[in-house]
A and B are shown apart, each in its own frame.
Chain A
């Protein structure tokens, strides 16, 4: 479980260095696969059958459907990478911010938890959420922001796994469906954005301000 947590965090940190959208999607795919594994591990430890169902769902939706949809939209986008000149902050800076958020999460959360079984996983999940925030904040490409959202979602899911040994199946189903719909809608919006603005650079959305 520790190993998986470390791998998840590592994937998220590497994500902040990516400028190529295709590779970024590959990494989110890998990250979600780690999450599915973590889910299965919790299932083995606790012996709940429905954790396996959740793991399978994670594989189907987060490893399968969502990256598939993102790959599908890529050919329509002219710029398949973050344009260096348009970057809000440099990749180094965003990596630094993500490391900072890991530190914040660990220093803030670690002392509060009474020595629970998943002592390190809880702060790790919170740092995943914060890294998701950083990703959305520091990137202007719409696809990268979707990836940031999925990272956050993975963090929240890990949180659920850690604290409650997984949520009731019906709630998990709800969350999966929610994420799927959100990403599909976002993909469609990205495509519309491309049609309207000829780019998926969300910093252009400033023009919509009232």
Chain B
């Protein structure tokens, strides 16, 4: 086990150094760096499989560590996240070989090196189990990803996005550090194993909970701390966005699991309710904002916010069940959350990589300028479609299974909540999760339809070319995992069950006892709790085949004579359904939240009856910036302006401040 772990780290380290060996030849260093990253990720897969099939282990590295030994815990929970990192890392690294070719000459060496450093730091975050080294790893991950987000600093807005990102996550880190230090000072231990036994008074325990939730919530992109996420993800190169969205924000979920499952243990019911409230706001608003985006990568970033919300719905339900002492539903809820972590990592990375190849092929991120790409890049279109089906939670792919599990666990929520209001709230939560799913489906109908179908809307889209083999290979691997995790969920569910096994308040031991290769049976009450995914897949396949068969039977297309359409003009790309048009009903229904500002401009032509060029633009108001962050910014600037007055520039005055302060301290200490 140690061998796997150390070899993974060594491969990544090799990848970090590799640009040094071939500084002048980017093609060589490309292959070296990304090959090392692939090997490292494969070693991670080996490591997590070893943990899953065997038992967890704690490694201890004593060398030159100034703050105690470096402890590395390889248990079920780490293994699950490492598995996700291994899958996504392997695919993204293979993809990167082709994708990063366009960065030759644009600081390619630093990008390849930082990419490996990013993978390395995520591994450390997921395995190190000592407070100080964990925080160091956490900050390293933030800093490395900051440089990756800021890689293309020439493009407008990227630097701003990067600074927004690092500012938000630093504030988050402050909360995380506070949470850790309160815990570790109460048990006088820096090891994670020691933190689990912390006996805190109620108020302090709530403080730790709040700090952990805020700190990790910022990294996860929970609304309203999400503002960095839709800016930073589009700014980074696509294979990095895939890792950031797929794995990096999941490290925050990992941190929450450690805190809420291990360190703090079972808490009062309102903890779970708070998490549920944040979760439902994130999922509904995340998907709403996603629906009205035109930038493909920004749209996917908002979907990350939504999916983090869905994961947290599982987490929150789990916490409510734990507070009620219902170990079995708690296990189901946590398993649903963690399974969605894995699934989201896979299909979101697939979608980001797909967006990267669309960007690579057509040269634009704006879906209003795409269209017809299915003819130019058929393989990418198919793989993107698989990701879209998975994220829309349609059977038989992986997203369906984990959302089904989330629903199953939430159906037990009304019974667990206390009070009529609590029960009502739980029912509304379930309905809102349904709304989220429906909107996600609508959003991806828009994305796939506008991007890949119809005619090209711009010259770039008309000349789009298919992505190279390495990019397609990386995406195909992820798509295969999506299908496998959907059709045969039992294996992954067993892994997820092991991740939460043995923790207090959670009982996952008998969860899959009645399941076999065909059906997943949940031992929770009556009816509606079994799922036979292979059967579903076969049914769907049969349905598709039947449809094809009927189409064949109906014979060839016939020419039908009818009325003239569009005054006889041959339909052009400008007559197509646009993304803005498609989401108009959604904008209208959710006007109160989205606050669209419509602007219609008509340019005056000499002849008022003919050829008036009109432009239509719609702008979504971001209420979180408007209500929270802008006033906050103004307040800080106002304070800074006022504090500037005491900075007179005179050395003597500064020394005077120190002297006055010294005398005051003397006086105060004298009185005390």
Contact = CB atoms under 8 A, between A and B. Distances in A.
Contacts of B655: 133, 136-137
A65 to B, nearest CB: 25
B637 to A, nearest CB: 15
Interface in A27-55: none
A130 interface: yes
B648 A209 contact: yes
Contacts of A145: 651
A136 B662 CA distance: 15
B667 A108 contact: yes
Interface string A87-98: 010000000000
B659 interface: yes
Interface string A130-142: 1001101110100
A129 B658 CA distance: 11
B670 interface: yes
A133 B658 contact: yes
Given A130-B662, A130-B663, A205 B649 contact: yes
Given A88-B652, A205-B651, A137 B670 contact: no
Contacts of A104: 663, 666
Contacts of B647: 209-210
B652 A203 contact: yes
B656 interface: yes
Interface string B631-672: 000000000000000011111100110110011001101100
Contacts of B670: 108-109, 111-112
B661 to A, nearest CB: 10
B629 to A, nearest CB: 26
Nearest to B672: A112
A207 B648 CA distance: 10
B489 to A, nearest CB: 60
A209 B659 contact: no
B640 to A, nearest CB: 12
Contacts of A202: 651-652
A126 interface: yes
A134 B658 CA distance: 11
B666 A133 contact: no
Interface string A167-210: 00000000000000000000000000000000000110111111
A129 B662 CA distance: 10
Contacts of B669: 112
A147 B648 CA distance: 23
A55 B443 CA distance: 80
A209 B666 CA distance: 31
Give the residue among B655, B656, B658, B662 with the most A Cβ atoms within 10 A.
B655
A4 to B, nearest CB: 23
B224 to A, nearest CB: 33
A137 B667 contact: no
Contacts of A105: 666
B659 A206 contact: no
Contacts of A109: 666, 670
Contacts of A134: 659
Interface in A107-154: 108-109, 111-112, 126, 129-130, 133-134, 136-138, 140, 145
Contacts of A207: 649
Contacts of B667: 108
A167 to B, nearest CB: 20
A55 to B, nearest CB: 28
Nearest to A207: B649
B649 A136 contact: no
Contacts of A130: 659, 662-663
Contacts of A206: 648-650
Nearest to A126: B666
A53 B645 CA distance: 47
Contact of A137 (B649, B659, B663, B666): B659
Given A111-B670, A129-B662, A136 B652 contact: yes
A138 B650 CA distance: 12
Interface in A68-92: 88
A191 to B, nearest CB: 17
B662 A133 contact: yes
A126 B666 CA distance: 10
B652 A137 contact: yes
A137 B667 CA distance: 21
A109 B648 CA distance: 32
A131 to B, nearest CB: 10
A136 to B, nearest CB: 5
Contacts of A129: 662
A145 B650 CA distance: 13
Contacts of B650: 203, 205-206
A130 B669 CA distance: 16
Nearest to A97: B659
Nearest to B658: A133
A208 B648 CA distance: 10
Nearest to B659: A133
A23 to B, nearest CB: 22
Contacts of A203: 650-652
A111 B658 CA distance: 24
B652 A140 contact: yes
Contacts of B656: 133, 137
Contacts of B663: 104, 108, 130
Contact of A209 (B649, B658, B662): B649
A16 to B, nearest CB: 14
12 contacts: A108-B663, A108-B666, A108-B667, A108-B670, A109-B666, A109-B670, A136-B651, A136-B655, A137-B652, A203-B652, A205-B649, A206-B648
Interface of B: 647-652, 655-656, 658-659, 662-663, 666-667, 669-670
Given A108-B666, A140-B652, 9 more contacts: A88-B652, A108-B663, A111-B670, A133-B656, A202-B652, A203-B651, A205-B649, A206-B648, A210-B647
Interface of A: 88, 104-105, 108-109, 111-112, 126, 129-130, 133-134, 136-138, 140, 145, 202-203, 205-210
Q: Can you list the 3 inter-chain pairs with the closest CB atoms, starting with the nearest?
A: A209-B649, A133-B659, A206-B649
